[in-house]
Amino acid sequence: MHTTMIRPGLLVSLKTTLRGGVTYQKRTIDPEHAVGAALVETWETTREVADAEDHARAIVARGKCGSLVTGVCCSSSFGLLCPVEREDKLAAAIEEATRPPRRTTRLPRTAGSTCS
């Protein structure tokens, strides 16, 4: 048996998500039917990203927000652990990660300019 001393700290639960801008359409190819004891159904899914550039920027931003928090934590089999002595850094990272993003509103490409 191997034991490990864990220093006092915080167990951190982290979830990052993107919402909107992506739609999915499902088309049934072969309806659900029995194959022996199993039920089998075949379908095709079409994914549409309304604005690919905006979606790509959102994915990068989501990764950066997650990295801010995980950067001050240690990974364990229980999840993220933040040592007590880094609690202030964790609070600052959470504040920065949850701050509303600065958005650049782009005019249609035909207008040829951007505004912020």
Quick check: is 26 in a domain?
Answer: yes
Q: Is 0.85 topped by the overall pTM?
A: no
Phi and psi dihedrals of 19, rounded to 5? -130, 140
Domain that holds residue 35: 9-99
Residue 108 within any structural domain of the chain = no
**Domain membership flag for residue 2:** no
| Residue 94 counted as domain residue | yes
Would the pLDDT of 100 be above 90?
no
Residue 113 has pLDDT above 50, yes or no: no
* pLDDT at site 23: 97
Report the domain count for the chain. 1
- Whether residue 3 is contained in a domain is answered as no
Q: What percent of the chain has pLDDT over 70?
A: 87
- 97 with 69: CB under 8 angstroms? yes
Residue 39 domain-assigned (yes or no): yes
Does 112 fall in a domain? no
| Burial tier of 46 (Cβ tally within 10 Å: 0-12, 13-18, 19+) | exposed
pLDDT in tens, 23-66: 999 999 999 999 999 999 999 999 999 999 999 999 999 999 99
In a domain, 42, yes or no: yes
pLDDT value for 109: 40
25's CB contacts (< 8 A; 6+ apart) are 45, 46, 48
pLDDT exceeds 80 at position 71: yes
